[in-house]
């Protein structure tokens, strides 16, 4: 795929410039989690646009229902509100640890079914949409940022007309790079564009305090190199490099090191090998 296609896609997402849609552009936009944004910028009509808009409406309805159910519970939607129009694959919510059982009970009464119960995450599902309740964002049960750090930045925000409790933009920038580099090991255009549009002095200082400046640089540099045609987004970090970065972050911070035991226990989980194979073979998330 030519660098010109990537360059045009970046301009469409970052600058809202019109773009000629073709199968290669559509596939690249899909992999980079910016398909709906590109379809809107191109003023494209058709089944694909209808499908994307329907998918977004389904997420909006879930978000509205969950926000109402969690009234009085200390929570915040994360990785939801961005300067990019996209259809989230699932709904992620931070919940104060002591209130997770109550949050789970309330959602269960609305028809959500518990799918997975892990040390720092409970995944529920309803109508094919996963809702993840986090106490701390983690990868392979290794915590890479404390949940209370994010909960302390809560703000009231607007998600496509729905008032929700979220985290502020500076923390969203930090979480975007932490999630891309330390959890997924993959940088998408959605990630890079979110950081580029929202980066300011305050978010830069926050990244410095949270010790994720290097991750921030990787996220932005991936976009620059993709425009120059030197790599293709989504960009997947080499597995060994990703593992070293994650372990280094966890071991290097006493707030995260208690999760190492949970990470070791994860190896004995029957799903571990399947998840490892998926991580090795996937090209996006």
What does the pLDDT look like over 76-108, one tens digit per residue? 999 999 999 999 999 999 999 999 999 999 999
Residue 161 burial class via C-beta count within 10 angstroms: exposed 0-12, middle 13-18, buried 19 and up:
exposed
| pLDDT, tens digit (0-9, with 9 covering 90-100), for 135-180 | 999 998 999 999 999 999 999 999 999 999 999 999 999 999 999 9
Please state the separation of Cα 196 from the chain's center in Å.
15
What are the tokens at 226? 């993709």
Residue 264 has pLDDT above 80, yes or no: no
| pLDDT, tens digit (0-9, with 9 covering 90-100), for 43-69 | 999 999 999 999 999 999 999 999 999
DSSP assignments along 193-220, one per residue: HHHHHH--HHHHHHHHHTT-HHHHHHHH
CA distance 2 to 4: 5
Q: Which of 17, 25, 24 lies closest to 42 in space, CA to CA?
A: 17
Task: Give the pLDDT of residue 260.
Answer: 84
What are the tokens at 240? 């060994």
3-state secondary structure of 11: helix
3-state secondary structure of 167: strand
- Please report, for the chain, the start and end positions of each structural domain, with discontinuous segments joined by +: 3-281
Residues 129/162, Cβ–Cβ less than 8 Å: no
């Amino acid at each position: 795929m030519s660098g010109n296609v990537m360059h045009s896609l970046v301009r469409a997402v970052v600058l809202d410039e019109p773009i000629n849609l073709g199968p290669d552009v559509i596939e690249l936009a899909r992999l980079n989690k910016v398909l709906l944004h590109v379809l809107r910028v191109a003023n494209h009509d058709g089944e694909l646009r209808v499908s994307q808009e329907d998918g977004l409406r389904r997420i909006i309805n879930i978000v509205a229902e969950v926000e109402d159910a969690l009234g009085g519970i200390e929570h915040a939607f994360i990785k939801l509100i961005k300067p990019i129009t996209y259809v989230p694959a699932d709904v992620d919510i931070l919940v104060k640890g002591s209130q997770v059982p109550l949050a789970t009970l309330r959602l269960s009464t609305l028809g959500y079914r518990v799918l997975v119960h892990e040390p720092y995450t409970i995944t529920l599902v309803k109508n094919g949409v996963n809702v993840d309740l986090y106490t701390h964002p983690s990868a392979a049960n290794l915590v890479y940022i404390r949940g209370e750090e994010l909960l302390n930045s809560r703000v009231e925000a607007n998600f496509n007309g729905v008032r929700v409790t979220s985290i502020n933009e500076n923390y969203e920038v930090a979480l975007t790079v932490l999630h891309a580099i330390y959890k997924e090991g993959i940088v998408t255009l959605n990630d890079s564009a979110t950081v580029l549009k929202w980066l300011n002095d305050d978010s830069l200082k926050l990244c410095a305090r949270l010790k994720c400046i290097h991750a921030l640089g990787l996220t932005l540099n991936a976009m620059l190199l993709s425009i120059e045609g030197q790599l293709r987004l989504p960009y997947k970090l080499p597995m060994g490099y990703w593992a070293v970065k994650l372990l280094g972050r966890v071991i290097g911070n006493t707030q995260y090191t208690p999760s190492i035991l949970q990470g070791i226990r994860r190896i004995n989980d029957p799903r571990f090998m399947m998840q490892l194979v998926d991580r090795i073979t996937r090209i996006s998330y």
